[in-house]
Structure 1
Amino acid sequence: MSISTPGGPERRPTVVSTGKKPAAGRPAAADKPAAKAGSGKAEGGKGTPRQGAGGKGRKPIAPVKVSQGRSWGPIALFVAVGVLAVGIIGVGAWAVYQGAQPWQKRADAIDGLVNYRDKDPESLKYEKHQSGPLKYKYLPPVGGVHNDAWQNCMGDVYDAPIANEHAVHSLEHGAVWITYRSDLPQDQVEKLASKVRGTEKMMMSPYEGLDKPISLQAWGYQLKVDNADDKRIDEFIKDLRVNASVEGPTALCNQGVTATGTTPRDLGPQMPTQ
């Protein structure tokens, strides 16, 4: 195509070659309307992704997974169950260990217990039974010389004081003697009585002049506490009843004196030989 101007030679328009041929059936780049800036629409049609070389579409981008963190509830429950199981096993093992210990060691482990077998063994010695009233170094007494008759200790709960001379003989047979002050509240007295009634080698009576509300005696052992709820009472009974016997587990607790009063009774030949 030529352009003529008046008074001058024909001029031909300069054509700049891009080196590319326009595709058949498609307008040249110069004839193509420009896409609106910011329209966000891809070439080639509405909603259609731009095609690269070879006419193939782009691979879809995989969605990014957002981590929701660990589920701590089940973990915490598992840990709690594990700790509880370990605790139960530990307590059971300790109980088995304690039960395997000699009764003397278990008794000595009771807080506040006085072991006169170690502290003052001379106070526990005697050569033979003696009749009549006797003197004791410690009150209530925990051993030593005593009368021929013992106090009945078949779970007997006495509502008045009993004679030391008979009670000590019962201790020799393996009894635990629970004593208490007369001003101990009745509900406390009943709690003590519930530990005594119906249990062989157990007896209980009030005792005047105690420096603590409750005092427990076995042969050579004593424990003083402030109330009947003290767990050491059960430990004392468990470890020392029968075990502390000087004459062995077959020593009698029946056929003894059942009367109250601090004056000993000389029953002589009526008592079985022990």
Structure 2
Amino acid sequence: MSISTPGGPERRPTVVSTGKKPAAGRPAAGDKPAAKAGAGKAGGGKGTPRPGAGGKGRKPVTPVKVSQGRSWGPIALFVAVGVLAVGIIGIGAWAVYQGAQPWQKRADAINGMVDFRKKDKDLVKGGNHQPGAIKYDVSPPVAGPHNQAWQNCMGDVYDAPIANEHAVHSLEHGTVWITYRPDLPADQVEKLKSKVQGKEKLMLSPYEGLDKPISLQAWGFQLKVDNADDSRIDDFIKTLRVNASIEGPNALCDQGVTATGTTPRDNLQNNMPEQPTQ
């Protein structure tokens, strides 16, 4: 750089030497090359090592997977619902299968049932009307000769014993006759009443001398149980009511004898209505 003064010649500036030589291969302070544009920006320059590029930069952090325990509550609930559904379907299918079976087979499946139709075919022929008292080998009787008048069996509940001769005629018409010991607890009697009262072709009465607390009769069938909670009572009623009739489903159960007492009423024989034809 030259400095010119007015009216005089140009003078060059005096360079003051420090006596030091620049280091070999090292440019002087004023001769450093300008940094390239963008150098020094994060991730832009060549001097900045990139992750994974083999440089000495920081390695990427691998995410830590948090292992969560399996939620067993919903799984257990799902399994329980599935098992319940399968059980309901299975029970329903079994009920349909059972309902499709002939009533005789369903009767045979009732545990403890005595089938007198197999034991004594003459006993269950029916239509044998006799006046007066009749001796029966089975107690309570399930079939055999009987009075021409039947006991009313429209869900009647009798609080005293009734005549066997009238009751057997009701059995011939398809009635289920439930009998119980006179000393059966009142709550048990009430349960039996609830099964009978107001339901056609059912009747209930106490019976002296039973060898079991409760005995059920249909024409040719008998079942004895210890208490009114026995589920076989309902099975017996469902299976044999009407089905066990040998006079068909239209046999009458009304207009019969409604009085109690063990002596048959022969004077009613000529007043009984005609039986409908099948």
Q: How many residues align?
A: 230
1:167 aligns with 2:142: no
Q: CA deviation at 1:113?
A: 1.0
Q: 1:229 Cα shift?
A: 1.2
1:177/1:52 Cα in 2 relative to 1: closer, same or farther (>3 Å)?
closer
Q: What is residue 79 of structure 1 aligned with on the other side?
A: 79
Q: CA deviation at 1:147?
A: 1.0
Shift in CA distance, 66/24, structure 1 to aligned 2, threshold 3 Å: farther
Structure 1 stretch 230-239 or stretch 164-173: which is displaced more? 230-239
Letter in 2 for 1:246: I
Aligned to 1:91: 91
How far apart are 1:74 and its partner, in Å? 2.0
Give 1:260 deviation, angstroms: 0.9
2: distance between equivalents of 1:190 and 1:134?
31
Q: Tell me, yes or no, if the aligned pair for 2:126 and 2:143 is still in contact at 8 Å.
A: no
Q: Residue type matched to 1:73 in 2?
A: G
Q: Which residue of 2 aligns with 1:63?
A: 63
Bigger CA radius of gyration: 2
Partner-residue secondary structure (3-state), 1:128: coil
Alpha-carbon distance in structure 2 between the residues aligned to 1:164 and 1:194 = 23
Q: Tell me how far 1:127 sits from its aligned partner.
A: 5.7
What's the offset of the Cα at 1:99? 1.1
Shift of 1:55: 5.4
**Alpha-carbon shift at residue 126 of structure 1 (Å):** 4.7
CA distance in structure 2 between the partners assigned to 1:241 and 1:24 by the alignment: 122
Whether the aligned pair in 2 keeps the contact of 1:124 and 1:145 (CA below 8 Å) is no
The one-character-per-residue Cα deviations of 1:174-201 (angstroms, maximum 9, x if unpaired) are 0010111111111111111111111010
Structure 1 position 272 matched with structure 2 position 270: no
Matched, 1:238 2:238: yes
The one-letter code sitting in structure 2 at the alignment partner of 1:139 is S
- Mapped contact 1:125–1:145 kept (Cα < 8 A): no
**Any gaps of 5 or more consecutive residues in structure 1?**
1-22, 26-48
Contact 1:157 1:193 in 2 (8 A): yes
Distance 2:52 2:248 in 1: 105
RMSD: 2.4
**1:57–1:229 CA distance, 2 compared to 1 (3 A):** same
Identity score, percent: 79
Alpha-carbon separation, structure 1, partners of 2:53 and 2:263? 123
- Return the alpha-carbon distance in structure 2 between the equivalents of residues 53 and 175 of structure 1: 99
Letter in 1 for 2:216: L
Please state whether the residue corresponding to 1:123 is helix, strand or coil.
coil
Structure 2: gaps of 5 or more residues: 1-24, 28-48
Kindly provide the amino acid, as one letter, of the partner of residue 269 in structure 1. Answer: N
Offset, 1:107? 1.5
Q: What are the superposed Cα offsets for residues 115-160 of structure 1, whole Å, 9 maximum, x if unpaired?
A: 1111222322356311111111101000111111100101111111
CA distance in 2 between counterparts of 1:193 and 1:77 reads 42
What is residue 176 of structure 2 aligned with on the other side? Answer: 176
- Separation (CA, whole Å) in 2 of partners of 1:52 and 1:226: 88
8 Å contact 1:179–1:215 — kept in the other structure?
Answer: yes
Q: Which residue of structure 1 aligns with residue 222 of structure 2?
A: 222
Partner of 1:260: 260
